[in-house]
């Protein structure tokens, strides 16, 4: 686990710098800066709207007397997307923006549930 985290913390910043250098070469300095700022602003607006929508779904599920399992996982994914958006770089911004889109988030939720189920199955049985 430690080796995976170390790899992520070394590989992701390296890739981010390489991508920014390449984009900066093609677009120029200021357009690259404005691209980063624009993605951050778009991400902020999407995170806010999607976060509020998820909170509304959680409240509706609770009022109906149902456990808000899917809505809670969506909230976790929106929060994760928000964390990715505040991490500087185009790669993490793109991943964060994708998690703000409901169809992408639904697929990520399915993969997350499958991962959780497999972890529980191998640990418990």
Residue 3: what pLDDT?
Answer: 86
Would you state the pLDDT for residue 124? Answer: 64
Residue pair 55/68 in contact (Cβ under 8 Å)? The answer is no
Entry pTM: 0.84
Q: What is the pLDDT of residue 30?
A: 95
Instruction: Output 44 or 104, whichever has higher pLDDT.
Output: 104
Listed by start position, the domains of the chain span 34-124
CA dihedral of 31, 43, 87, 108, whole degrees rounded to 10: -130
List of residues 6+ apart from 20 with CB closer than 8 A: 32, 89, 90
Higher pLDDT, 123 or 60: 60
CB atoms within 10 A of CB 54: 23
Per-residue DSSP letters for 42-81? HHHHHHHHHHHHHHHHHHHHHHTT---HHHHHHHHHHHHH
pLDDT at 26: 96
pLDDT, tens digit, for every residue of 12-51? 999 999 999 999 999 999 999 999 899 888 888 988 999 9
Distances (CA, A) of 4 to 1, 8, 94, 106: 5, 6, 22, 26
The DSSP string of 18-45 is HHHHHHHHHH-HHHHHHHHHHHHHHHHH
Mean pLDDT of 44-71: 93
Neighbours of 112 (CB within 10 A): 15
Residue 115 has pLDDT above 80, yes or no: yes
Whether pLDDT at 125 is above 80: no
């Amino acid at each position: 686990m430690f080796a995976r985290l170390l790899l992520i913390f070394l590989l992701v910043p390296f890739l981010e710098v390489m991508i920014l250098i390449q984009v900066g070469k093609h677009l120029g300095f200021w357009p690259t800066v404005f691209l980063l700022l624009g993605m951050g602003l778009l991400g902020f607006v999407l995170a806010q709207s999607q976060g509020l929508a998820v909170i509304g779904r959680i409240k509706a599920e609770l009022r109906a007397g149902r456990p808000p399992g899917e809505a809670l996982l969506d909230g976790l994914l929106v929060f994760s997307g928000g964390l990715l958006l505040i991490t500087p770089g185009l790669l993490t911004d793109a991943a964060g923006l994708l998690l703000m889109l409901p169809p992408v988030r639904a697929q990520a939720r399915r993969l997350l549930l499958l991962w959780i189920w497999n972890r529980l199955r191998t640990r418990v049985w």
